[in-house]
Amino acid sequence: ISPERETSRGEVATAVAVATSPARQPTIQGSDTALTIRVESLTLGASLQRDPNIRNVFVSLKVLGASFNTPDLRKVSPPIRVNETFTVPVGPSSKAQQELLRVMTAQYGDRKGSDIAFTVCWYDAASSSGDGEPVAFGSVSMRGMWDSRRDLASQVVKLIDDDTQEETKLVI
């Protein structure tokens, strides 16, 4: 999870999205900052991987009120390479910046707002509806990562299948 900026040479430079001030309060710096989530790979649970009806999947994520979907992913031998990046602008005085600061600095109460929710859905490519059926759910707390000072790269998110309680793993 990092803000992204393009360098003068056209390369993408990344830095940590939140930093501590002397009072240990997260702050957002820069005039064109963005919260970036990169979905690297997906490893379906064993029963989902074996299910012959599941050929195509996608990952849906929700963060700070924004929703995103990966492109369609064909089920292959694990892990499925996703390599998709999603960006939520958190520019100065924006609603997203205010929400990010609120959930990251909350002392008490509900911290669920700092969760990035993930859902893996499968769909039948032959179907005309294009809607996916959710098969695994999970989330990661930006606040939890911040509080534990965990590295914000290559985090494994465990998603659970409600029917089988089997784990699907997502690397972000």
The span from the CA of 19 to the CA of 149, in Å, is 11
* pLDDT at residue 14, as a whole number: 41
Which band of pLDDT confidence, cut at 50, 70 and 90, is reported for residue 136? very high
pLDDT at 42: 95
Name the pTM for this structure.
0.73
pLDDT exceeds 60 at position 120: yes
Please, is 10 exposed, middle or buried when counting C-beta atoms within 10 Å of its C-beta (0-12, 13-18, 19+)?
exposed
For the chain, the average pLDDT equals: 78
Pick the closest to residue 157 from 38, 48, 6 (CA basis): 38
Higher pLDDT, 99 or 125: 99
pLDDT at 71: 94
Please tell me the distance from the alpha carbon of residue 3 to that of residue 12, in angstroms, as a whole number: 10
Q: Which residue has the higher pLDDT, 8 or 91?
A: 91
**Predicted pLDDT at 151:** 60
- Give 147's pLDDT tier (boundaries 50, 70, 90): confident
pLDDT of residue 111: 62
* Helices marked H in the chain: 46-50, 95-105, 142-148
pLDDT in tens, 51-63: 998 899 999 999 8
pLDDT at 19: 36
Q: What average pLDDT score do residues 23-45 get?
A: 70
pLDDT of residue 108: 58
pLDDT at 163: 82
